[in-house]
Structure 1
Amino acid sequence: MPTAPTPPAPSRIGLLRDPDFRRLFAATALGQLGDRIVFLALPLVAIVALHADEFQVGLLTAMTSAGSLLVGLPAGAWVDRMRKRSVMIGADFMRACVLMTIPAAWWADLLTVGWLYVVALAHGTLTVFFDVAHVSYLPHLVGRDHLLEGNSKLSAVRSVTSISGPAMAGPLVGWVGAPVTLLVSSAGMALSGLLAGGIRKREPKPESSARPRLVRDIEEGLKFVLTHPALRAIMLGDAIFNLFLVLYQTMLLVFLEREMGLESFGIGLVLSGMGCGALLGALLATRISKTVGQGPTVWLASLVTCPLTVLMPMAHPGWSVYVAAIGLAALSLGGVVRFVAQASFQQALTPDRLLGRMSATARFVSWGGIPLGGLLGGVSGSVFGAAATLWIGAAGMTLSVLPVLLSPLRTVRELPDGPDRKAPESAR
């Protein structure tokens, strides 16, 4: 009796066979490359070009993320009424234009720290709309059955840009200066918008009520997220983590430049090490989630990696700072593994019509403390010094595992079957 043919092994390429996903993949790569260069170059414009003090650097960090507080909740309701792809394209082009004003002001000898605050706020606000639309668009493009693979692949490309962005930005800042380096960021975001415009698969136009009410729509998103035990635990853990991560990052560049004596190339090298950890995390995320379980991965990833960030404030000028960068790489590895697990969980649990509001609500709550983290980082750096601030940040990031660790989500091993379910039985 003939045996049935063996089915072919699944391709590692997977979703990359789809031309539309390839375009989204490439657009994500270019947009994230531009964003990672902004992450290094914008504070260096303040620190090196304008000689800003610690508090001003902290305030700049706060302005970068203040958009989450200003438009975080209404952004979700607005995005749910629009085609997500169109929002992504528009946000990319507007971010590119905003960033171009910095080198223009620099060449005209008009650049001030105040203008950096304005650009940081505008860029951060546009990024809120882009990120909400991006998270909401993925389930439509790839289908819910492929969310884990889609998030893993997009996290991988973000990780590669986390390596290449600082590695490119460091020499560029040293060569042409931090203000001019932002032209590369602007170009990356413009190209991202062009690639997203080439995606052929069109979303159906979202259904809207005859009299849409912004407040009612926001309330519906808030109620869904805040009353869902799994989503609530993820969101609160993120809020604590992001607060102390930004507090840590606010003084990291100051610590590296002023206490470790690193120039722009050395700072870029240290941050590229973080990207290496993120890339490894993206490559391992799916395997870890399937082996350990979705819920345990969310809290174990942070618990194992966050304590290693204390290596940086223990470093001394010289070779030890590059050894300490291992802790930053571990932080990035754990962050990506955690993000892939929890993002797939959030998307799988949420109905299509609420995806934008779920993403915006979670972002509003979990990112809402980021401006406070920037301010606290600046104040702490001014009062206690950069090294002590890094110690505080490391402790806070480690404690961020508590909401998930103390929730039923800690034992959930698999994604739910569909968005109509509140949570698996073990998560209730």
Structure 2
Amino acid sequence: MSFWGLLRHRDFRHLWAADALSQTGSRVSVLAVPLLAVSELHASAFEVSLLRAAETAAYLVLGLQTGAWCARRRSRPVLVATDLLRAAALLSIPIAAAFGVLTFAQVIAAVAVSGVLTVAFEVSATSYLPAMIGRDRVVDGNSLLQLNRSVGAVAGPGLAGYLVQWFTAPAALLVDSLTYLWSALWLGTIRRREPRPEQKPRATTRADIAAGIRFVWQHPLLRATAIYGASRSLTQAMHMAVAVVFLIRDVGVSPGTVGVLGTVGLTGALLAAVVTRRLADIVGSARLLWLIAVLTGLAFLLYPLTGPGWGLVWYVVATFVASFGVIVASVLGVSFEQQVCPDDLLPRVNATVQVAAWGAIPLGSLLGGALAELAGTRVTLWVAAGGVLLSAVFLLLSPLTRVRDLPRQLSRPGEGAGRQRKSAT
């Protein structure tokens, strides 16, 4: 079945439809929430930074526990429930605004609750996909889902700007809450019912978490990709923390131009979602992963070269190549986890990898902000770019460079590590 042919699979098509509009809605909130805090609640810069921290801190604080919890439950009911609860959390903001009682505390609470629910949704969704379409098709499935995210990344900020400008920020969040309802309705129409997870002797949450961490650590390739993802997220977050300030204050562009630069550059993400499977077939998935890691690091080195006028081309090229590389690496990394991990361990392994990557984001943001205060934004961009490039070393020093393709066999902790070491030599 081809890349687009997977949409003939009814249940996947409904999953894809559920995800499509929801991804754009989520991107609307990324811009609408801080605009709401600044324009209507008169929040300080520090308070605005707390919103991003509240949204992503759930991965660091509860990510591993959520993986253990999801491993004991069917995925589809978790997906529907978390969508409905996220809709309710965000809907509370425009309702409170309509009655004139909205406070910053409520906004940050709604964002934090949504962040916790998002952790459960993402862990369950990643575990659900191979059960729905089979492990041999997960690269195509992840590519189509990443296409949704890429479209959302390109369209969401512009849509958010118009919604806030024409209707107010609470109205933009109302739109996002409705997209979660849309997603829940489509997920509810999926016909395939999962078997109930095998009821094993009750293990402690700590033991479940340890099993997921141990599985990742004992597989050389999975360990390398997880460490790479965490280190890249840390240094990429340093970049993102200062990029807008750099463009406006150092380069001197308008906020509108910032949006245009991002939209044009992020078209690389759209291209990546379409061609990843084809590139993996031609080059080999393992080779492509470490090559794309190096290419992404080199792309980040172009950001500090950005200047006024034609110097903005550096920013567009860097964003195009970097977004292309990040999506390719994401599709390959997630697909590898889904192919190599046993079903009962998959939620815990997904949680371990996501905590490593997403948990690094708030730390990287704080580091980027602190370094910018000490040395300036351009220096921070150079340091972040060097960090993204050096992250590729974790892949280059692993057995990944000695194989053409990532392995696809199912394995258990211990036995899988040995098999992967053997196949990589």
Same fold (TM over 0.5): yes
Return the letter of the residue paired with 1:169: A
Q: Does 1:373 align with 2:370?
A: no
Matched, 1:33 2:24: yes
- Aligned equivalents of 1:253, 1:345: Cα separation in 2: 34
Once structures 1 and 2 are overlaid, which stretch shifts more, 416-425 or 296-305?
Answer: 416-425
CA-CA distance at 1:113 after TM superposition: 4.4
TM-aligned CA deviation for residue 255 of structure 1: 3.6
Distance 1:248 1:48 in 2: 25
Match of 2:126 in 1: 135
Q: 1:375 to 1:15 in 2, by over 3 A?
A: same
User: Are the counterparts in 1 of residues 239 and 380 from structure 2 also a CA contact under 8 Å?
Assistant: yes
In terms of mean alpha carbon deviation, does 233-242 or 101-110 score higher? 101-110
Alignment of 1:9-408 (within 5 A): 11=2, 13-50=4-41, 52-257=43-248, 265-317=256-308, 320-321=311-312, 324-408=315-399
Answer yes or no: is 1:427 the counterpart of 2:424.
yes
What is the letter of the counterpart of residue 189 of structure 1? Answer: Y
Pick closer, same or farther for the CA change 1:318–1:63 going to 2, 3 Å.
Answer: farther
Query: Partner amino acid for 1:279?
Result: L
Cα pair distance change 1:336/1:58, threshold 3 Å? same
Q: Percent same amino acid at aligned positions?
A: 41
CA shift, 1:130, in A, is 0.6
Q: Is the 8 A contact 2:297 2:392 kept in 1?
A: no
How far the C-alpha of 1:320 sits from its partner, in A, is 4.0
Distance verdict in 2 for CA 1:388–1:315, change over 3 Å: same
CA drift of 1:193 comes to 1.3
Which 10-residue stretch deviates more, 314-323 or 385-394?
314-323
1:232: how far off? 0.8
Shift of 1:318: 5.1
- Equivalent position of 1:4 in the other structure: none
1:279-302 deviations in Å (ceiling 9; x for gaps): 111112112212222222222212
SS of aligned partner of 1:352: coil
Contact 2:226 2:357 in 1 (8 A): yes
Query: Higher mean Cα deviation, 114-123 or 276-285?
Result: 114-123
Contact 1:294 1:412 in 2 (8 A): no
Unaligned stretches of 5+ in structure 1? 1-9
- The number of equivalent residue pairs is 419
Cα distance change of structure 1 residues 334 and 79 upon mapping to structure 2, 3 Å threshold: same
Deviation at 1:310, TM superposition (A): 4.2
**Letter in structure 2 aligned against 1:341:** L
The answer (yes or no) to whether the contact 2:279–2:288 under 8 Å persists in 1 is yes
Change over 3 Å in CA distance of 1:350–1:155 after alignment to 2: same
1:244 counterpart letter in structure 2:
T
Q: TM-score, normalised by structure 2?
A: 0.90
The range that moved more, 170-179 or 144-153, is 170-179
CA contact 2:217–2:223 (8 Å) conserved in 1? yes
Comparing 389-398 with 119-128, greater Cα deviation is found at 389-398
Cα displacement string for residues 210-235 of structure 1 (whole angstroms, at most 9, x for unaligned residues)? 43422221111111111211111111
In terms of mean alpha carbon deviation, does 400-409 or 272-281 score higher? 272-281
What per-residue deviation string (whole Å, max 9, x for no partner) do you get for residues 348-398 of structure 1? Answer: 110011110110111122222222122223333444444433333222222
> How far is 1:75 from its partner?
0.8
Task: Give the direction of change, closer, same or farther, for the CA distance of 1:386–1:46 in structure 2 (3 Å limit).
Answer: farther
Query: Do the aligned residues in 2 keep the contact of 1:170 with 1:264 (CA within 8 Å)?
Result: no
2:356 counterpart SS class: helix
Q: Secondary structure at the match of 1:66?
A: helix
**Which letter maps to 2:333?**
Q
CA RMSD of aligned residues (A): 2.4
Give the superposition deviation at 1:415: 3.5
Render the CA deviation track for 1:73-124: whole Å, top value 9, x for unaligned: 1111111111111111111111122222333444455545444432332222
TM-score by length of 1: 0.90
